[in-house]
Structure 1
Amino acid sequence: MSFNWTQLIPQVGHDHDKVAVATFAATSLALVFVGLIARASLGKGEAAIVPSGKFSIKGLFELVTEFITNLSDQVIGHHGRHYVPMFIAVFSFIFINNLVGVIPGMSPATENINTTFAMGLFMFITYNILGIKENGLINHLKHFMGPVAMLAPLMFVIELISHMVRPLSLGLRLANVMMGDHAVVAVFLDLVPIGVPLPFYVLGMFVSFVQAFVFTLLSMVYVAFATAHDH
């Protein structure tokens, strides 16, 4: 594999999986640090609800919060607002990890299937737990059976298989797109290191946002179906 700044960390070396873990750990620590700064910048009392009037960490988090909240309202409904912090965390984590791949000498942790499959598995476990918590185990399983009683056994098998492959499909989609995007940037950077790769960096930032958006949107859809009440 090509040079990566995380290879300078002892015990990382050229192992692709270790590089991904190191990038994952560094990005996670950075996100926690920035999150603590954003929390401190909120202030207390009325100051916490006053929108930021200038470009700042607080303003960026307010922008992300408003964006994810509006998206959640459209997909899940207003009752899904208590899931918004989770979706913000998922979106921010994936987006920032994706953007790391735009930095020369870095590769995103999200191009490693181990990372992305873990994210998909997390959402799979989460939406099933939320569905059981919201509707109970029996009613949650009824979602797998479809509206026609005669076809219920067949639909249950089909839906079960569909649900079981979701973690892998979420993980593969994200990992393959980020791997391809990073490979394209790397190729043009090696061929012509000045000027030519710039449009691909811009495209890479756009792809980073789109992939974080798609993953978050699909997660919202899964939560919406899992927590829906049958009438």
Structure 2
Amino acid sequence: MLRYIVERISDGKFLELELPITVSGAGRKLGGAGSFSGEIAPIFDVYKYAGSDALIDPLATYIHEDADGVIRGSWIVTRTEFEGAIWRIEGQGFSSFFSGRPYEGEYRGVKVDPIAVARHVAEHAQNMTSADIGVKVVGSSSLRVGTDSDTQLAAAEAVLKEAKRARTENTKARTSKTKTKQALTKSHEVSRCDYQSIAGDIEGSSRGVAGAPEGEGTGRTDRCSADGPQQRGTGREDCAGREEGRPQACQ
């Protein structure tokens, strides 16, 4: 004997054990939600449920197909509509309840049982207000899914970022050392130029005392400039123009 049982989802109360419905479709689908459709007539049977707690409400009622004590299918009522004296009822399988519902939780699994994942999703969806339809995912499997590739990628990116930062810091340090070295070298060159200028003045004065005639230069050519020290003259370039009787100043 085939009969259709009506159950209220919220409290599990059976509203009708033999629903007088003419079923036009009661299918099941592998890997998806099956569908149900039928209509209640005549008008007397429709009015039996109107205004009572036995009213079949969409998304609040189950319809079970029972064949000699064996439940062969269950559907959530998704639509009810009156067409004159006929009450049309439609339903979908359990999985349709979860279709299109947003997941607002957080879950991370590495090498986890996919059935455990489905159980978590089902529990999360039914934790919302007035959303508990009594679906419980049970069992387990030996299959494992999920990898930590995203974690490894994040770690690799962090290492790369740190290496780039270290290279930047090293470049800055080398640049700073180079600038400091250049500044010290320039300071040293200027100091040497000053020293050579003073030494040249002393040397020229000494030669003038040794017998250079009045008005005659010392023969020193000062080549220090802002561009750094250059080779100075020794004073010997003036010897050719001196008189032969005064060689001591050119020694």
| TM-score range normalised by the length of the shorter chain | under 0.3
TM-score in terms of structure 2 length: 0.23
Q: Which has the higher helix share?
A: 1
Larger Rg belongs to: 2
TM-score in terms of structure 1 length: 0.24
